[in-house]
Amino acid sequence: MKVETLDEKQVSIALTQLVQEIDFRPELIVGILNGSAEIIKYLKQQDKFSESVFYQVKLQRKQETVKRKKIMRFLAKQLPYFIVDFLRKLESAKARKSIAAITKENLEKTKIIPIEIAFKKEPQTILIIDDAIDTGKTMYVVKKQLQQKFPKATVYVACIAWTLTEAIVKPDYFWKKEVLIRYPWSKDYKSRKNA
């Protein structure tokens, strides 16, 4: 699988193309943190979404220790990209193998910070956005909760990179598929001068 590194300008181009693909005006746009934070900033500037309500959610996962996160970020920035790319490919291969073992029972146990969105009337169209869909576990949990909260709404999914086409949730809109993308907000991102 190919690894691509995008700088801020390339992310902007990818998002422009992704926005052009989205053929409706969602009443609610839900971003999945941390990957969607910069995407949400971009979408808020688009006239197409000027009437949309924006909301961000975060799943509660096992917390890495702060010290371990700092060490991993430091190491990722020190290693050359060909080594970090190799590690990303290994991680992706592991994720691909794990898809077959995903069960709804395990996903039901995943905790999400509750979605507390106040609407005068139930939204009819919702767009969930993230930077990438790998296994689809995160997207599944968020989509299911939104469908339970707003049962009359149609929920669409968009991402920049649909990394694994076997994912348990398929995006309705995406920029690229079967590619690993390193974003400016990725832990292993280095500016061109440091790459």
State the pTM of this model: 0.86
pLDDT above 90 covers a percentage of the chain that reads 52
Statement: residue 31 has pLDDT above 90: yes
d(CA 186, CA 192): 14
What integer pLDDT is reported at residue 67 of this predicted model? 52
pLDDT of 22 strictly over 60: yes
C-alpha neighbours within 13 Å on the C-beta side of residue 194: 10
Instruction: Please give the backbone phi and psi of residue 36, each rounded to the nearest 5 degrees, phi first.
Output: -95, -5
Residue for token pair 């390193």 = 182
Q: What domains does the chain contain, in order, with CATH numbers?
A: 2-57+81-190 (3.40.50.2020)
Instruction: Quote the CA–CA distance of 104 and 195 in Å, as a whole number.
Output: 41
One-letter amino acid of 163: T
What local confidence, expressed as pLDDT, does residue 194 receive?
46
Region for residue 121 given its phi and psi (left: phi exceeds 0; alpha: psi -120 to 50; beta: otherwise): beta
Residue 82 is which amino acid?
F
pLDDT digit string, tens, across residues 146-178:
998 899 999 999 999 999 999 999 999 999 999
Cβ neighbors of 172 (< 8 A, separation 6 or more) are 156, 157, 158
**pLDDT > 70? residue 49:** yes
pLDDT of residue 65: 46
Mean pLDDT of the chain: 86
Bridge partners (DSSP) of residue 55 are 30
**Are the CB atoms for 125 and 28 separated by under 8 Å?**
yes
| H/E element, 182 | strand 179-182
Residues in the chain: 195
Query: pLDDT at position 68, please?
Result: 56
pLDDT value at residue 52:
94
Reply yes or no on whether the pLDDT at 3 is more than 70.
Answer: yes
Q: Model confidence over 54-112: pLDDT tens digits?
A: 999 887 655 544 455 566 666 666 777 788 888 888 888 888 888 888 887 777 777 66
* 39 has pLDDT over 70: yes
Is there a contact between 88 and 3 (Cβ–Cβ < 8 Å)? yes
Q: E-strand spans in 46-137?
A: 53-57, 59-60, 111-112, 125-133
